[in-house]
Structure 1
Amino acid sequence: MRSAAWIGGREFEIREGPEPEPGPGEVRVRVRACGVCQTEVHIMDGLLTQINLPSMMGHEFGGEVEAIGADVTSLEVGMPVACQFGAGGYADQAVGPAERLFPLPDGVPVQHGALVEPMACIVAAVEQAELPMGATALLTGAGPMGLVVLQLASRSRAARVIVSEPNADRRALALRLGADQAVDPGEGHLEEVVAEATRGAGVAVAFESSGQPAALADCLRSVADGGSVMMVGVHPNEARIPLNLYDFHRSRLRLLGIWGGGRDGFRAAAQWLPHLELEPLISHRFELADIAEAFDVARTGEGLKILVGTGLC
């Protein structure tokens, strides 16, 4: 069995090892796709808390049940699943607790199982945002996370979603996937767009998914009194924004960080898979042996979701 270990800098080592055997209550999964997470890129580049080396990363993955340990009755060999093992997805196979596997609905491509982990975070963000019925929402950042936020928000309670995104291709895709307006924040008129769309009141909820401090500041300036800002994108350790605490207090704002979705979020995200347009969000596919190249592409920010796996190309 092959696995990719991060050994420091921008280097990975492809290792060969024995096929893992599932113990009682465990399942072995044949990994088909693992998503490159921007948090992993930040860790590699020294922008977040460092981890011990070598590291077996890869927490966004899915595949097919290949072998079942004793006492597992809820899964069958060949079943496509999303995995909540926390790591180990950059490999041919992975073993983990059966309770951390979530079957994919019929007809869903097995590669889309790699999208369930980030989608679980987004499900949590949309649920905890408590969007009022018919509300206007703002989304900053139309990357893969943001484009799922857009689809979930517009399919739940939001009557109108405004997207702020500097990349023209991503703005066009956001409009195709349901955004009512897509604005280039570099043109400096986001607050005017929000004011016009909400008759000066501001949006009920803003979702920050870019991981950029300036975008978070835009969100805080754009929400209505009593509104909420949901931090979906991960910001580097050193990221800071100026915050007028009096205005924040007086306006009764809520700023909530979203980190993980738990088992309920995983389960809900898996059930959403057939109802969302996800294939346009996958921009690159790499074989496991080319994982370093996959991370180089992710680092440029030019693509959307990047998958690493076996038989993808």
Structure 2
Amino acid sequence: MKVVSAIKIGSLKDPDESKRGKVGILDMPMQEMGPEDVRIKVAYCAICGSDPHLVEGIFGWEAPFGMGHELSGVIMEVGEKATKKGLKVGDRVAGNFLRFCGTCYYCQNGQQQFCLHADESNNPGMAETVVWHESQVYKLPDEVSLRQGCMMEPVSVAVRMMDKVRPRFGDRILISGGGPIGLLGLQALKMFGATSLTLVEPIAERRELALKYGADHVIDPMSQDVYEEAMKISEGLGFDAVVDCSGSVHAVEVLPKITAKGGTLLYGAMYPNDYEMPLNLYQYCYANELTISGYYVSPYTFPRAKQMLTRFDLDALTAKVFFIDDAEAAFEAQVSGKYPKILIQCNPDLE
């Protein structure tokens, strides 16, 4: 079967082509199924913002390896013991790319995000088929298309963001970074009644999308001073919650300064492994009593993500589609920043 893979590690933007990471199509055998597994014929798999980082070697994995985890598809085979959720051949599904083991200390302690065995189940989803345990799979609502359905995983991240922010009705909230997670998080925060809802984003089209999704203010960090604009919007108080979805080391250091006293500051993106941000502990953790955290994967969120899929405007995030054979061009488009989200159609007969 065809699988989109990182076949060479390195920066996708390196001017030296010999050092540039490369994405291609590999022919791999179909994954074996266990008795509690289902085989899914993949319709769409979206490119996550983390995928280009994987090609750049952020986790130290050696190429080649299959990629992709934001997917939708149709069940083509059900294991003999995959009976607990009522799944059947022909069901339109999406779900969690990780299977939490349920047995290790963290799973038993209500901390699935730290499951010691979750990565064992991370099969590449940017492929013609994928095998998942039935616990990972959720049937899509009838009114959700397969194209929209591959957004269940990104929406689960927005749900996780809400779990961490715990927004109160009327909180002033700012998001830094207008990629898919930032734009989904902004929509979710609007539902929670956020006020002075602000997006910091250098790309004009994404600022326009933010306003469409209900942002009260947008800030262009290339032409405006983020600190000055944020304090003006918040009347000098700062924001009750600030969430970084940018992953940019150029964007993150100002965020403690614009978080209100007693506020919540989340760093919710993927950063260079060796980046260490200076932080004045006296000012921000002692005097201002900030709660500073992050979030990794999305435990306990998928049932709610399924329920909320129809509440999100997903049109702009599902508009640009490449076929699986054009995966290299799809990744080039992803890193260009021209589109807010890119989908790969893995089986053209599934719409």
Shorter-chain-normalised TM-score: which range? over 0.9
* Distance in 1 (alpha carbons) for counterparts of 2:262 and 2:126: 43
For 1:53, the aligned partner's letter is A
Q: Quick check: 1:61–1:115 contact (8 Å CA) kept in 2?
A: yes
1:54 is matched with 64
Residue in structure 1 matching 2:81, options 71, 76, 85? 71
* Distance in 2 (alpha carbons) for counterparts of 1:173 and 1:127: 24
* Distance in 2 (alpha carbons) for counterparts of 1:196 and 1:35: 37
Quick one: structure 1 residues 303 and 239, their matched pair in 2 at CA, closer, same or farther if it must change by over 3 Å? farther
* Distance in 2 (alpha carbons) for counterparts of 1:51 and 1:128: 29
For 1:229, the aligned partner's letter is L
* Distance in 2 (alpha carbons) for counterparts of 1:43 and 1:236: 11
1:154 is matched with 190
Q: How many residues align?
A: 311
2:102 is matched with none
1:11 is matched with 22
Supply the RMSD in Å over aligned alpha carbons: 1.9
Residue in structure 2 matching 1:82, options 94, 113, 131? 94
State the Cα deviation string for residues 172-213 of structure 1 (Å, max 9, x = none).
111011100111112233333332332211110011111112
* Distance in 2 (alpha carbons) for counterparts of 1:305 and 1:256: 26
Residue in structure 1 matching 2:288, options 248, 251, 267? 251
1:293 is matched with 329
* Distance in 1 (alpha carbons) for counterparts of 2:51 and 2:220: 27
> How far off its partner does 1:256 sit?
1.0
1:100 is matched with 136
For 1:247, the aligned partner's letter is Q
1:222 is matched with 258
Counting only pairs closer than 5 Å after superposition, residues 273-292 of structure 1 correspond to structure 2 as 273-292=309-328
Q: Quick check: 1:21–1:28 contact (8 Å CA) kept in 2?
A: no
> How far off its partner does 1:19 sit?
5.0
SS at match of 1:304: coil
1:190 is matched with 226
Quick one: structure 1 residues 244 and 188, their matched pair in 2 at CA, closer, same or farther if it must change by over 3 Å? farther
Which structure has greater helix proportion? 1
SS at match of 1:225: strand
> How far off its partner does 1:62 sit?
1.4
2:111 is matched with none
For 2:39, the aligned partner's letter is R
Quick one: structure 1 residues 84 and 141, their matched pair in 2 at CA, closer, same or farther if it must change by over 3 Å? same
State the Cα deviation string for residues 80-116 of structure 1 (Å, max 9, x = none).
1113233311111111201110121221011222222
SS at match of 2:297: coil
* Distance in 2 (alpha carbons) for counterparts of 1:16 and 1:194: 50
SS at match of 1:87: coil
State the Cα deviation string for residues 49-89 of structure 1 (Å, max 9, x = none).
21133211211111111111102222122211113233311
Are 2:244 and 1:208 equivalent residues in the alignment?
Answer: yes
Quick one: structure 1 residues 186 and 69, their matched pair in 2 at CA, closer, same or farther if it must change by over 3 Å? same
State the Cα deviation string for residues 121-164 of structure 1 (Å, max 9, x = none).
22111121121221110011111111001000110141331111
* Distance in 2 (alpha carbons) for counterparts of 1:50 and 1:239: 16
> How far off its partner does 1:21 sit?
5.7
Q: What is the TM-score of this pair, normalised by structure 2?
A: 0.83
For 2:224, the aligned partner's letter is G
* Distance in 2 (alpha carbons) for counterparts of 1:180 and 1:276: 18
Q: Quick check: 1:24–1:72 contact (8 Å CA) kept in 2?
A: yes
Residue in structure 2 matching 1:142, options 167, 173, 178? 178
Quick one: structure 1 residues 238 and 284, their matched pair in 2 at CA, closer, same or farther if it must change by over 3 Å? farther
Are 2:185 and 1:173 equivalent residues in the alignment?
Answer: no
> Which stretch of structure 1 is more off in the superposition, 19-28 or 281-290?
19-28
SS at match of 1:63: strand
* Distance in 1 (alpha carbons) for counterparts of 2:194 and 2:337: 28
Q: Quick check: 2:23–2:55 contact (8 Å CA) kept in 1?
A: no
SS at match of 1:214: coil
* Distance in 1 (alpha carbons) for counterparts of 2:26 and 2:168: 50
1:24 is matched with 35
SS at match of 2:237: coil
> How far off its partner does 1:280 sit?
1.1
Which portions of structure 1, spanning 4 or more consecutive aligned residues, are displaced by more than 6 angstroms? Answer: none
SS at match of 1:186: coil
Residue in structure 2 matching 1:115, options 145, 151, 163? 151
SS at match of 2:309: helix
Q: What is the TM-score of this pair, normalised by structure 1?
A: 0.93
* Distance in 1 (alpha carbons) for counterparts of 2:28 and 2:222: 49
